[in-house]
């Protein structure tokens, strides 16, 4: 017997703005103290389980399959810091990582610094925030979020005796820095809206009430955090808005120092700094859309003293610089691909680390030592498991430190990876990364899994996933759309997918699906799409615009109630994100956001099969956004396709915290997909 879907009651809530009267029938779902709200969420969870109950055996099989492809007993490659080698490991059957070190050599006895499994034992949710060890390697500062709200409590552990210090620092953000005296500690505190707004200095062993407030950010459009320079000379305070930033600094040697502003903020100007051998280096977009690098002596921070080191390149995004004593690693992005360029400061020579795949990810790994000639990086492609290398910047030789193992065997020669270009409706060329089994026919009969994000300037890099093999082995083509709103093709790619250009993100995504259909990888109605958070906004917009194109959509913690959220400045991210989406108090932005906001544009039409997830304690995309969207869809859609809402009642934005619980969430999504594609056989 088919279970009955929950029907959320309508309680109209109206407001008037810019001469328009807006009615929100499901505004009441915001009140989590209302028992009716909890009853509704639980009813939706029960409905999801009941609908998928016939596939329970498949779901368990998928879970076991996914689990069989991860190495349950595994360890990260040890990374050297002074006389210690730091690493973390996981044990079979345990959910969380165990953080360890060895002294002097890898042959000495292991010292367990922190066992996440022990910390999580009595908690419904566990997330480790900071893991910050003092300069003398004797004190560990760590923080824990116990409900997914991203509010952390910091504790201190004496690594010599194993004892915990009595003080606890509550309601903190995940950034921190140690002073060089190994007693002074800098940390960020959240306000009532979950925004990091204050920086305090704590002296180990003293009451938290005595902590010194060093900085308070009163502008709600900015988040703040602290970090330490790679050479351990300075503590940096970063003040970041969506399009504007400011840095303050103080000496890490002086436990009484006050923060000094490096360069006052100017709207639209972003910058960050690092210190190297008597100079501050400024990575900035000032007069440089794709960023450039400047320098100034530590004796003056006046803009008039800044000298150019790496000029602006309109064809290359300068993503950042990682500094070491005798070389730098320059992070660049050209034509949507990442490049690591080594600058040997002794010889002045520059060279790139070689890559071979058509689409890939490459990034710095654990590099704890400043005075070294070895750079550790990780490389992954859609067919190559993540491989960690130690790279000698002098000899240009690289040594594999570790390659992720796929238990049960994996043959990359059975798979092919490509990079294609779709043409958007305005003529822009949009890159697509894809992978598939070589046995899959190119006659349009294959199902396609297409994902995308397209927001905040975040680029979507191609990477390997052993979990993805469960789809590839069943004949799916897997593709990533590198759409506008990200910085995949440089900063202009981001600028042309935000504010009053946001719809380019959605039409780019649709163009990618249409291109893959035209090239014979799949056909209309055989496409599943997936995205989370701002990528969930993409899912909502795509199914409103072209529901005929897709068979199914998975929207994880989707940002779908854009207009109402951006009108509520009590939420953590709203004011910060006025420079991403626009402020709807301005009528121009109000009308534009209203024209694409998925919740506001649900209409009476047939929709694809939909699986929607939420986290009850999510501070980024509140649970009521997906809940309201599903309620409205259920009332208005004209089809008989599945519409499922799964709310994690013990988690936040990232879903379940334990690695096995996350596999169960993945198995649920794969079960949904295989069912709606008629492939739900055990």
Q: Which pLDDT score is estimated for 568?
A: 94
Q: Tell me, what's the pLDDT at 682?
A: 63
Query: Is the pLDDT at 271 greater than 70, yes or no?
Result: yes
Please check the confidence at residue 165 and state whether its pLDDT lies above 70.
yes
Q: Please compute the mean of the pLDDT values over residues 346-361 and round it to a whole number.
A: 96
- Kindly list the catalytic residues: 533, 618, 653
Tokens of 443: 């006659």
Cα–Cα distance for residue pair 382/410, rounded to 1 Å: 13
Rounded-to-integer distance, Cα 289 and Cα 133, Å = 37
pLDDT band at 571 (very low <50, low <70, confident <90, very high): confident
Tokens standing for residue 56: 């329970």
| DSSP letter string, 167-191 | --EEEEEEEEEE-TTSSEEEEEEE-
Q: Give the per-residue pLDDT at 1.
A: 65
pLDDT digits (tens, 9 = 90+) for 356-403: 999 999 999 999 999 999 999 999 999 999 999 999 999 999 999 999
Specify which residues 235 forms β-bridges with.
Answer: 228, 250
Distance between CA atoms of 63 and 57, rounded to whole angstroms?
10
Instruction: Count the neighbouring beta carbons within 10 Å of the beta carbon of residue 66.
Output: 20
Residue pLDDT, tens place only, 601-653: 999 999 999 999 999 999 999 999 999 999 999 999 999 999 999 999 999 99
- Over residues 462-476, mean pLDDT: 97
Coil vs helix vs strand at 581: helix
DSSP 161: T
3-state helix, strand, coil in the chain (%, to 5): 20, 35, 45
Instruction: Using the predicted structure, report yes or no on whether residue 589 has a pLDDT greater than 70.
Output: yes
Which band of pLDDT confidence, cut at 50, 70 and 90, is reported for residue 680? confident
Q: Contact at 8 Å (CB) between 262 and 284? A: no
Nearest to 275 by CA among 340, 326, 324: 324
Task: Please state whether beta strands 643-648 and 609-615 pair in parallel, antiparallel, or not at all (unpaired).
Answer: parallel
What does the alpha-carbon distance between residue 276 and residue 297 come to, in Å, rounded to a whole number? 10
Asked if pLDDT for residue 405 goes beyond 90, the answer is yes
Tens-place pLDDT, residues 424-459: 999 999 999 999 999 999 999 999 999 999 999 999
More confident residue, 529 or 409: 529
Q: Which of 422, 325, 342, 413 is nearest to 377 (CA)?
A: 342
Residues in the chain, overall count: 682
Residue-wise pLDDT for 120-150, tens only, equals: 999 999 999 999 999 999 999 999 999 999 9
Q: What percent of the chain has pLDDT over 70?
A: 100
Q: First-to-last CA distance in the chain?
A: 21
569: pLDDT strictly greater than 90? no
- Mean local confidence (pLDDT), 576-598: 97
Q: Which two tokens stand for residue 649?
A: 């009642």
Give the pair of three-digit tokens for residue 80: 């050297």
C-alpha angle 498/504/505, rounded to 5°?
Answer: 75
Going by pLDDT thresholds of 50, 70 and 90, the confidence category of residue 172 is very high
Q: Given a cut of 80, is residue 2 above it in pLDDT?
A: no
- pLDDT, one tens digit per residue, over 616-625 is 999 999 999 9
CA distance 524 to 528: 10
Residue 579 tokens, joined: 């420079």
- pLDDT above 90 coverage of the chain, percent: 98
Looking at residue 204, what is its pLDDT? 97
**pLDDT band with cut points at 50, 70 and 90 for residue 572:** confident
Distance separating alpha carbons of residues 564 and 551, to the nearest angstrom: 29
């Amino acid at each position: 017997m088919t279970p009955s879907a929950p029907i959320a009651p309508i309680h109209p809530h109206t407001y008037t703005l810019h001469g328009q009267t807006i009615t929100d029938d499901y505004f009441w779902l915001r009140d989590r103290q209302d028992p009716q709200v909890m009853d509704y969420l639980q009813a939706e969870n029960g409905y999801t389980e009941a609908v998928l109950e016939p596939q329970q055996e498949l779901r368990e099989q998928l879970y076991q399959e996914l689990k069989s492809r991860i190495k349950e007993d595994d360890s990260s490659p040890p990374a050297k810091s002074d006389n210690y080698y730091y690493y973390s490991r996981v044990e079979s059957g345990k959910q969380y990582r165990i953080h360890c070190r060895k002294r002097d050599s890898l042959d000495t006895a292991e010292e367990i610094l922190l066992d996440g499994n022990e910390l999580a034992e009595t908690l419904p949710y566990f997330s480790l925030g900071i893991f910050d060890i003092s300069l003398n390697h004797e004190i560990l500062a760590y923080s824990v979020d116990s409900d997914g709200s991203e509010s952390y409590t910091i504790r201190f552990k004496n690594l010599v005796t194993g004892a915990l210090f009595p003080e606890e620092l509550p309601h903190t953000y995940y950034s921190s820095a140690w002073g060089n005296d190994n007693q002074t500690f800098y940390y960020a505190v959240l306000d009532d809206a979950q925004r990091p707004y204050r920086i305090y200095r704590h002296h180990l062993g003293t009451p938290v009430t005595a902590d010194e407030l060093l900085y308070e950010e009163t502008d709600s459009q900015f988040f703040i955090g602290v970090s330490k320079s790679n050479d351990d000379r300075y503590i940096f305070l970063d003040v970041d808005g969506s399009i504007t930033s400011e840095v303050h600094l103080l000496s890490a040697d002086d436990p009484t120092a006050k923060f000094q502003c490096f360069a006052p903020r100017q709207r639209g100007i972003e910058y960050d700094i690092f210190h190297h051998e008597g100079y501050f280096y400024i990575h900035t977009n000032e007069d440089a859309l794709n960023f450039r690098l400047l320098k100034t002596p530590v004796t003056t921070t006046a803009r008039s003293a800044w000298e150019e080191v790496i000029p602006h390149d309109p064809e290359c995004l300068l993503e950042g610089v990682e500094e070491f004593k005798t070389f730098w690693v320059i992070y660049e992005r050209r034509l949507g691909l990442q490049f690591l360029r080594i600058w040997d400061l002794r010889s002045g020579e520059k060279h790139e680390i070689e890559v071979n795949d058509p689409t890939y990810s490459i990034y710095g790994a654990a590099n704890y030592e400043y005075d070294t000639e070895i750079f550790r990086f990780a490389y992954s492609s859609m067919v190559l498991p993540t491989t960690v290398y130690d790279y000698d910047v002098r000899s240009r030789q690289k040594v594999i430190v570790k390659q992720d193992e796929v238990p049960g065997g994996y043959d990359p020669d059975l798979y092919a990876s490509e990079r294609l270009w779709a043409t958007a409706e305005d003529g822009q060329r949009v890159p697509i990364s894809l992978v598939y089994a070589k046995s899959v026919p190119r006659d349009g009969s294959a199902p396609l899994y297409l994902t995308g994000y397209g927001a905040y300037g975040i680029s979507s890099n191609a990477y390997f996933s052993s979990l993805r093999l469960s789809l590839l082995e069943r004949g799916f083509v897997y593709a990533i759309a590198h759409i506008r709103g990200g910085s995949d093709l440089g900063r202009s790619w981001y600028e042309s997918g935000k504010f009053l250009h946001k719809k380019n993100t959605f039409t780019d995504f649709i163009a990618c699906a249409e291109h893959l259909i035209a090239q014979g990888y799949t056909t209309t109605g055989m496409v599943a799409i997936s995205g989370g958070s701002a990528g969930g906004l993409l899912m909502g917009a795509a199914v409103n615009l072209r529901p005929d194109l897709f068979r199914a959509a998975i929207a994880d913690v989707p940002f779908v109630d854009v207009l109402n959220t951006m009108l509520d400045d009590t939420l953590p991210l709203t004011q910060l994100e006025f420079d991403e989406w626009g402020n709807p108090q301005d009528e121009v932005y109000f009308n534009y956001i209203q024209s694409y906001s998925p919740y506001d544009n649900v209409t009476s039409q047939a929709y694809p099969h939909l699986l929607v997830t939420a986290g009850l304690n999510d501070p980024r995309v509140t649970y009521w956004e997906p809940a309201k969207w599903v309620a409205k869809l259920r009332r208005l859609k004209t089809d008989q396709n599945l519409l499922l809402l799964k709310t994690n009642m013990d988690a936040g934005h990232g879903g379940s915290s334990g690695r096995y619980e996350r596999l169960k969430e993945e198995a649920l999504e794969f079960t949904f997909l295989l069912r709606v594609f008629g492939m739900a056989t055990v």
